[in-house]
Amino acid sequence: MSVTLPTGKWDSRFAGPVPHDMSYYAKCMLGGILACGITHAGITPLDVTKCNMQVDPIKYKALGSGLRTLITEEGATGIWKGFGPTFVGYSLQGMFKYGLYEYFKDSYSNLAGEEVSQKFKPFIWITASASAEVFADIALCPLEMTKVRIQTSKVGTFPTGFGPALAAMQANKVEFRYPFGSLVPLWSRQIPYTMAKFCFYEKIVELFYTHVFTAPKESYNKSTQLGVTFASGYLAGIICAVVSHPADTVVSLMGKVENKGKSIGTIVSETGLVTLATKGLGTRVLMIGTLTGFQWWIYDSFKTAMGLGTTGGK
């Protein structure tokens, strides 16, 4: 749909059925909080196991055996370590990731103009998502560092409660390089992940509505649209997992006590690129595929409830 303002200038914010005003962006931010906070916190057991597989692959060889080892040694609560910083950190990340993506997508489309932005939509999606993730990771980083430290420290060597863990991180901020010591590897993990997450999601949705559901998107009921949302999100999540896994392994290894004070380059050199790219990848594919599918489903369900419609399409 092409909309020209009275000034004669095309504006992406008014090119769809719902105007993208500040209220729209605020609702998208709230949807992002729900999408990322709930899903990341809900898969904490998988995350705890995955992190320990990355930092101690000899002891934690696979997802099932790793979960059993954690439960045997630490009880049922052991697989929920880091729930607090995970929920808060990824809620903040989701707020900026989704809300700013919508904002930057409109802003960059307007800078490019109608013809260019329509012709090079994937470039708009990639740059908008990367820009949003820069800010999202700044909000996430201190809590991600706290989460990893909780999840990978040996029993009794670091607090597992949210408040005491934050206090311990602050008390040892020079030693742990807190609060932004992991920001560069976090950017290295999350920016490619988010670029893939949003660009492939948008493209897969577009393909669904071009080749499978060929009638106008608005003619399909909300259940069908949300089904497309979930399927597209899950497929995009698999790609995200592969793209971002090496950097994710580095972030986990930085939380390992034995790597305290080591540079990122040293950790990469000692671990090896093959191990960085493959150890724990199966668990991460399962985790991120499911996670991303449900994130998009929650986000679009919220948008639909707010009268904003689902994301993407022809």
d(CA 19, CA 117): 18
Reference 97, options 208, 194, 235; nearest CA is 194
- Determine the Cα–Cα distance for residues 114 and 2; give it in Å rounded to an integer: 8
Q: Which residue has the higher pLDDT, 306 or 277?
A: 306
Confidence of residue 1 (pLDDT cuts 50, 70, 90): very low
- Predicted TM-score of the model (pTM): 0.85
Classified as helix, coil or strand, 188 is: helix
For 99-157, how does the pLDDT look when each residue is reduced to its tens digit (9 = 90+)? Answer: 999 999 999 999 999 999 999 999 999 999 999 999 999 999 999 999 999 998 988 99
**Is the pLDDT assigned to residue 187 strictly greater than 70?**
yes
pLDDT for res 7: 57
**Tens digit of each residue's pLDDT (9 = 90 or more) over 31-71:** 999 999 999 999 899 889 988 887 888 899 888 899 999 99
* Residue 261 pLDDT > 80: no
- As a whole number, the mean pLDDT across the chain is 91
Dihedral over Cα of 286, 90, 57, 71: its sign: negative
**177 band by pLDDT with thresholds 50, 70 and 90:** very high
Rg of the chain, C-alpha, whole Å: 20
pLDDT tops 90 at residue 254: no
The two structure tokens encoding residue 37: 């906070």
Q: So what's the pLDDT on residue 110?
A: 97
Q: Where are the alpha helices (DSSP H) in 56-120?
A: 63-74, 83-112, 114-119
Determine contact, residues 27/311, Cβ cutoff 8 Å: no
Q: For 123, phi and psi rounded to 5 degrees?
A: -65, -40
Burial 227-243 (b: 16+ CB within 10 A, else e): ebbbbbbbbbbbbbbeb
Own/partner pairs for 9-17, CB < 8 Å, 24+ apart?
10/110, 10/113, 10/114, 11/110, 12/105, 12/106, 12/109, 12/110, 12/114, 12/117, 13/106, 13/110, 15/114, 16/309, 17/218, 17/309
Domains and CATH numbers, the chain: 18-305 (1.50.40.10)
Q: What mean pLDDT comes out for the span 61-83?
A: 92
